[in-house]
Amino acid sequence: QSVLTQPPSVSGAPGQRVTISCTGSNSNIGAPYDVQWYRRIPGTAPKLLIYANTNRPSGVPDRFSGSRSGTSASLAITGLQAEDEADYFCQSWDKKLSGSWVFGGGTTLTVL
Amino acid sequence: EVQLLESGGGLVQPGGSLRLSCGTFGFTFSSYAMHWVRQAPGKGLEWVSGISNSGAITYYADSVKGRFTISRDNSKNTLFLQMSSLSAEDTALYYCAKDLRPGRNYAELDCWGQGTQVTVSS
């Protein structure tokens, strides 16, 4: 059971907009600690899409955007493309016990 | 070009030990915090351990605290993970990853290696 909860799967048609939620608590996202988002295509290393809630690293297209509100965060992908089909993970710091970074359980995005 | 190359994985018996290495290229290693993240078969990502750019500060997941030790050699641009008292639950693909911003330890992991497989089995 992950500390950060994500839906197991989402789907959308090419060109559509999808959002992936990440629900935490007052010990992590709601503390508030920053949220990162990663994409992992099976067989490849994860890629950082969003850091510090809303920021895109160099090279990440503006089709990807992040937000945080209260104890939750969201990743939005617009103009869905076939290449977006992958697993997406959120990540934050959790201050319980001695503190550690935690990942969400992951969401599989299917492009219909 | 930034590159991270893990090595040292393999098959080990329960209770055994293993030392992972991560060679790095293409950036000023001593300026960046580094981390280990693992993914067990069929499961999601799990952060394992992190270390500040100087090596003075280390962090561990509760699941590995007291069994794993992270370290770095800034003169050789190399990150290490010493693992002991291994169990089947430690079976995973282990990635090393670099923090995005120099001098900060925020686990904003912008570059990852391809991973090294650790299998704990008798």
State the count of interchain CB pairs (< 8 A) between A and B. Answer: 66
8 Å CB contact of B47 and A45: no
Q: What is the pLDDT along chain A (112 residues), one digit of tens a residue?
A: 788 999 999 999 999 999 999 999 999 999 999 999 999 998 899 999 999 999 999 999 999 999 999 999 999 999 999 999 999 999 999 998 778 899 999 999 999 9
Please check the confidence at residue B4 and state whether its pLDDT lies above 80.
yes
List C-alpha distances in Å: B47 to A21, B27, B36, B67, B92.
20, 22, 6, 15, 12
**Out of A46, A48, A100, closest to residue B45 by CB:** A46
* Alpha-carbon dihedral B48, B52, B58, B64, rounded to 10 degrees: 10
pLDDT in tens, B13-50: 999 999 999 999 999 999 999 999 999 998 899 999 99
Is B40's Cβ below 8 Å from some Cβ in A? no
Nearest residue to B112 (alpha-carbon basis) of A84, A7, A65, A89 = A89
Q: In percent, how much of chain B has pLDDT > 70?
A: 100
Pairing mode, if any, of strands A107-111 and A86-94? antiparallel
Annotate B20-48 with DSSP letters as a single string. EEEEEESS-GGGS-EEEEEE-TTS-EEEE
Average pLDDT score, chain B: 96
Give the model's pLDDT for residue B48.
Answer: 96
Is B59's Cβ below 8 Å from some Cβ in A? yes
Cis bond upstream, residue A32 (ω within 30) = yes
Tokens of B27: 């950036």
For residues A92 and A47, the answer to whether their CB atoms sit within 8 Å is: no
| Residue in B closest to A106 by C-alpha | B44
Gap between the Cα atoms of B19 and A95, Å rounded: 28
Gap between the Cα atoms of B8 and B68, Å rounded: 14
Mean pLDDT of B65-82: 98
List C-alpha distances in Å: A29 to A37, A55, A109.
13, 16, 23
- Phi/psi for B30 (5° steps) reads -70, -5
Give the model's pLDDT for residue A73.
Answer: 98
Pairing mode, if any, of strands A9-12 and A107-111? parallel
How many other CB atoms are there within 10 angstroms of residue B78's CB atom?
18
| Residue in A closest to B64 by C-alpha | A100
Find where tokens 């089709």 sit: A63
Contacts of A34 in chain B (CB under 8 A): 106, 108
Give the model's pLDDT for residue A99.
Answer: 82
